[in-house]
Amino acid sequence: KGKRAFIAGVADDNGYGWAIAKSLAAAGAEILVGTWVPALNIFETSLRRGKFDESRVLPGGSLMEITKVYPLDAVYDNREDVPEDVKANKRYAGSSNWTVKEVAESVKEDFGSIDVLVHSLANGPEVTKPLLETSRKGYLAAISASSYSYVSLLKHFLPIMKPGGSSISLTYIASEKIIPGYGGGMSSAKAALESDTRVLAFEAGRKHKVRVNTISAGPLRSRAAKAIGFIDMMIDYSLANAPLQKELSADEVGNTAAFLASPLASAITGAVIYVDNGLNAMGVGV
Ligand code: NAD
């Protein structure tokens, strides 16, 4: 029987979440996604109108099916945490049960269990500001949306994850090397995410036999990356300097996620896996 995957952070067909969904679907998994509440309407409409049909094509020729789309805002753990102004916001009031706890409960109710959990989301409101110009509020918002969101997701989904299951997040090399332009505390958020990957691998491994890994991905022209403003430069830099001189395709990250989710990776946990054409291994530009 095929596995079931929940992928948090899919709102169009340009990002890593979409590519991971496709690779998992191609490997036979049933796909559930969590979509950021403000992006839900446009994503569902586009999906329904066939706007993504071309990018839904799997290697065999069939189309990826998304069994269910759940509204999600991963900065809120439960209903009680949601501030009144957000509750009253038109886009949020239009859907329900989108806090992390409620989404996990809905998935449990609908399907009972999952095998694979993917966290493919990040948000740093001050990402374009250097760290020295980042406010406390912006820094904490980056950590909340990009790091704690993962702790919270895993915490709430772990009880419905099957033993032998696999959890995967997406990180970026700015956590360990200086990448000017990746600001607003986003470099700090990725450092926390990578450290948490190790601690969560221990806790989830001992408690539930679930593996926890993170993929350190190279630059991709996603919606989120375009908002940072330096993505074309990073892609050019990688093309010029990486051991493999080709543009990174989102599918290469998707395929790695499918590998990590499979029994082929049964002894891999607590790891940061680089999928970046080898750029991380370079010491100097050439
Ligand atoms: P993306 O825009 O496809 O994905 C980010 C998603 O996060 C969006 O769908 C957005 O709606 C969602 N999101 C933001 N705040 C949210 C919240 N509070 N609750 C729920 N969802 C929320 O862009 P992407 O670049 O594919 O990003 C996916 C992951 O890959 C992120 O963790 C990102 O840091 C990481 N990554 C990206 C690159 C790159 O170059 N694009 C490189 C390395 C790592």
What pLDDT score does 77 carry? 98
**Would you place residue 216 in the very low, low, confident or very high pLDDT band (cuts 50, 70, 90)?**
very high
Give residue 123 CA to ligand 1 midpoint distance, Å: 7
The answer, yes or no, to whether residue 225 has pLDDT greater than 80, is yes
Kindly report, residue by residue over 88-136, the tens digit of the pLDDT: 999 999 999 999 999 999 999 999 999 999 999 999 999 999 999 999 9
What pLDDT score does 259 carry? 98
Mean pLDDT of 181-210: 98
What pLDDT score does 209 carry? 98
The answer, yes or no, to whether residue 4 has pLDDT greater than 80, is yes
Mean pLDDT rounded to a whole number for the chain? 97
Whether residue 139 lies in the annotated active site: no
Whether 9 lines ligand 1, by a CB cut-off of 6 Å, is yes
- From 120, 146, 187, 190, give the residue whose CB has the most ligand 1 atoms within 8 Å, as the site to mutate: 120
Mean pLDDT of 70-89: 97
Taking the CA of residue 173 as reference, the ligand 1 atom at the shortest distance is: 43
As a three-state string, the secondary structure of the chain is CCCEEEEECCCCCCCHHHHHHHHHHHCCCEEEEEEEHHHHHHHHHHHHCCCCCHHHECCCCCECCEEEEEEECCCCCCHHHCCHHHHHCHHHHCCCCCCHHHHHHHHHHHHCCEEEEEECCCCCCCCCCCHHHCCHHHHHHHHHHHHHHHHHHHHHHHHHEEEEEEEEEEECHHHCCCCCCCCCCHHHHHHHHHHHHHHHHHHHHHHHCCEEEEEEECCCCCHHHHHHCCHHHHHHHHHHHCCCCCCCCHHHHHHHHHHHHCHHHCCCCCCEEEECCCHHHCCCCC
The answer, yes or no, to whether residue 175 has pLDDT greater than 90, is yes
Q: From CA 201, how far away is CA 212, in angstroms rounded?
A: 5
Residues 6+ apart with CB under 8 A from 45: none
What pLDDT score does 193 carry? 99
Contact indicator for 135, 127 with CB cutoff of 8 Å:
no
What pLDDT score does 53 carry? 97
Kindly report, residue by residue over 229-257, the tens digit of the pLDDT: 999 999 999 999 999 999 999 999 999 99
Count Cβ atoms below 10 Å from residue 14 Cβ, excluding itself: 17
What pLDDT score does 249 carry? 98
Give residue 8 CA to ligand 1 midpoint distance, Å: 9
Kindly report, residue by residue over 16-42, the tens digit of the pLDDT: 999 999 999 999 999 999 999 999 999
What pLDDT score does 86 carry? 96
The two structure tokens encoding residue 118: 């993917």
Percentage of the residues of the chain whose pLDDT score is greater than 70: 100
